[in-house]
Structure 1
């Protein structure tokens, strides 16, 4: 079984943080401007993008600002049930699995594209084939597809190269969006600026660097949206986003990271704003480069994990908006295993360093992307914690691109960075980060972890479709990963 591995995403929505084998779950944060006297808001919803959307072609997009818009313009064969990680029918009314590598989708017959052309099996084949042929930054997600065949007008068969249990979850990903073949041919290279799908909202206009406007698809097969327009405004600065929310210039901010942590209390206290919090689905970790001394010594890694002041990270660096979990999969994802949390023990940390031959400590660097104020605070807590056992930490703040360059070249020592799953399945958390096939430059295993036992477990987990066997495999994988301590 040969698999392509992940590239890095460019932004983050919600975060669950893993710190040296003890995870911190950061709350998903949603703030909504609520004055009821403004009747216009019944018809118009203004959101924001924290970056400039780069591409509205689902076969080519990678940044989350673009993908947020794509989700509203396009549909996919399946979708996630609201508030869950389970898939349900969307453009496919149902599906059959004659064998574990074959899926036959029975398509809805009441769907049209925004340009008035018909949705059918030919458009599904066109879209999936096109996404693979263009080789966009996320096309690797579909690499396991062997071929897509039209059986009749509203039936399409997808054959896989090998058994792949998360297949339906992947088909809910934006890269698997169904595009209008007529629109692609009509607009050519400009299709990315003139998206045409079947989704609840239709593309209206794009003022580059300012806003993207969508209008309601009143013929939407799931029922017309209650909102007449969605406006995605580009607001790059966190302070400006907060001001825009408080003044009613935008209606919704999502993700705690889009507001400066120091401003969250003010937002929550504002009577015109309602806030909602829930656990997130991304992962952030303190990672160790196992290719470098002294981090290649498990006793050193264990000493660091005992030395870190987790309570201060949660209460000060994260303002009490987090909780710890014990492994690399967050609680709301299938495959999660509740693992023991390591408690701080400075004496034990010193003992382990002494046993490893580093009783006098050592110098080491901790890399993070300088755009994240919260991550800077976490790094400072870690520096202070490790200083207590003689480890002198140099905090190394780099811009995002330079951070990724350093990680992919394996020049780093320790690092703080997030992981966003491509699809809600344990495979998307573990294979790209911990399988040896994902070592740079092929993937995001920037820990340098290469463990045949982990590789075998992960391969077995993705190829079996029996839920109980998958659960057992991913529980074993997490136990082994925690034992190896790459993070």
Structure 2
């Protein structure tokens, strides 16, 4: 499996990639270290006074791009003086972000927040999935091998620190420091940097240095479907249509060519934070900002920062940002009470606030949504009540309860709750087994459990039909998904018992617990179904709900038996499923592949050793 995954990362030929990912899909179906459940269909529930909603498969909506009918009702929320009115966007949901540190966060809630409080080098505009757009990078180019990338950083960008009411100017050193820090901490999302970027071989350059490199004619720029070989910085900026000030250049050195690198750099975990903020307020680092800058030769030798930032959850910069996030985006975290609410306020220092002088996004440099409030409630009945009362504009409503809210009319108005449905999303749900301990280290046991999943019942009773069956790691719509190659696991307890017998284990000797995140009633129902049915196979099964951050922390340490979880892609490539879910960490001294249909040629390779 690991060899296939690495080979697929190296492959550039679409045909070869397809064959490799089909093999990965087939193997993930046979080995089933993860019990694949299904792929979601798009469903959203909200009041029809809310406008501008859009869908992107990897990035959340930006709340400053949404707006409300000016006649939307005004309702006090019981949190200070906050009210839900046309200028306040209220979301009722469950759970809690794993962390407020972007370099450590690897789950949808935290990424949703950071997409609104942070900026990355590049981004996607609304629904566009084909072309990345400038964000903090205003232009970029790469060498012919695709292993060295140059990003020109936008000038005039400021990060706002609401905790101390301070403003920091952002430049190329801050950008490189933020990406380098992701790799150095080595926390959950770091693999997307460490696998593809050599952060210590990366550096900060001046605009003049990039201008000289461009003059050689060796760099290629691609933007909005155009491919060019600009011979100067001015030509490069002209290609991207940028005329403003700049703040240095970041050179990223890749470990290998990787076609999805720009999509990775659009992910919220690489949001840029001000380096000086980290050194102003992290315990033990105060007063060492200039020292760290000089040690790194102002970003030309980022490896020097390892003296100050440690690969640990106890690193002072992580402990700081975990509680007090600071970013450059359209909003900032104003206040929060864990397990209760999070308040975002529009950022008056946002570099692109001219957008808010355009209707319908805002007026006079102020967005239509001045405030965003997350109301946290793990009780589904309470969330339904909060939404239908008008206290929230949108909410996380269980799919089997949609009819309880659909069409609800606000008293004295024509406003109604709307349930919007769409096509398949690239988001999947599955059951993770701890294959490091018995009985889950036995492939026949794992296959038996796949045959003991009542999918049709789960599809209809839990997801109200808004899910389709998945048989392997790669969802429909991606290269490699081919159900003609795999076992079609159906609900068959007799087949499950046959496989248990074939495995040689005695199921009555095994007791295990199935976990789900508290407040997710759909996963709770699935756990109940599994408890009932797997107990019929002889296992002793219990279930337990854990708070979201607790669940993530426990499973990361391998401290679990079974848990139910979902996956939304970080970037749109089959490797973003195969890599994080199936790669086991094997390193190869030699790994290559050939494209051939001649069996004799393959045989010769083995003969030659």
Counterpart position of 1:484: none
Question: Structure 2 length as normaliser, TM-score?
Answer: 0.58
Distance change >3 Å, CA 174–CA 405, structure 1 → 2: closer
Query: C-alpha distance in 2, partners of 1:20/1:195?
Result: 34
Q: What residue number does 2:332 align with?
A: 203
- The within-5 A match list for 1:405-420 is 407=555, 414-420=562-568
* Residues 358/165 of structure 1: CA separation in 2 closer, same or farther (3 Å cut): same
**Correspondence list, 1:250-329, <5 A:** 250-253=392-395, 258-260=396-398, 263-271=401-409, 272-278=416-422, 279-329=424-474
Q: Counterparts in 2 of 1:364-443, with a 5 A limit?
A: 364-369=511-516, 371=518, 372-386=520-534, 390-397=537-544, 399-400=546-547, 407=555, 414-437=562-585
Q: 1:277 to 1:460 in 2, by over 3 A?
A: farther
Counterpart in the other structure of 1:50:
94
1:408-429 superposed Cα distances (whole Å, 9 cap, x missing partner): 6657555433345444433332
- Residue pair 1:314, 1:322 contacting (<8 A) in 2 also: yes
For 2:72, the equivalent position in structure 1 comes to: 38
CA RMSD of aligned residues (A): 4.2
Task: From 45, 66, 69, give the equivalent of 2:113.
Answer: 69
Structure 2 residue corresponding to 1:142, chosen from 180, 193, 197: 193
Q: Could you list the runs of 5+ residues in structure 2 that have no partner in the other structure?
A: 6-31, 50-68, 75-84, 161-165, 208-246, 284-319, 363-367, 410-415, 596-609
Alpha carbons 1:20, 1:304 under 8 Å: kept: no
Contact 1:78/1:87 (CA < 8 Å) preserved in 2? no
Deviates more, 1:341-350 or 1:322-331: 341-350
Correspondence for 1:100 = 146
Question: What is the TM-score normalised by the length of structure 1?
Answer: 0.71
Aligned partner (choices 266, 275, 283) of residue 172 of structure 1: 266
Alpha carbons 2:99, 2:110 under 8 Å: kept: yes
Deviations 1:316-352 (A, max 9, x none): 2333332112221223556544455323344444444
1:343 aligns with 2:482: no
Counting only pairs closer than 5 Å after superposition, residues 107-186 of structure 1 correspond to structure 2 as: 107-108=153-154, 119-132=170-183, 138-143=189-194, 144-146=197-199, 147-152=202-207, 153-181=247-275
Cα 1:195–1:139 change in 2 (3 A) is same
Q: CA deviation at 1:229?
A: 1.0
The separation in 1 between residues aligned to 2:369 and 2:561, in whole angstroms, is 51
**Structure 1: unaligned runs, 5 residues or longer:** 4-17, 438-451, 470-487
Q: For the pair shown, which has the larger CA radius of gyration, 1 or 2?
A: 2
- Residue 371 (structure 2) aligns with: 230
Q: 1:395 to 1:317 in 2, by over 3 A?
A: farther
CA drift at 1:97? 1.9
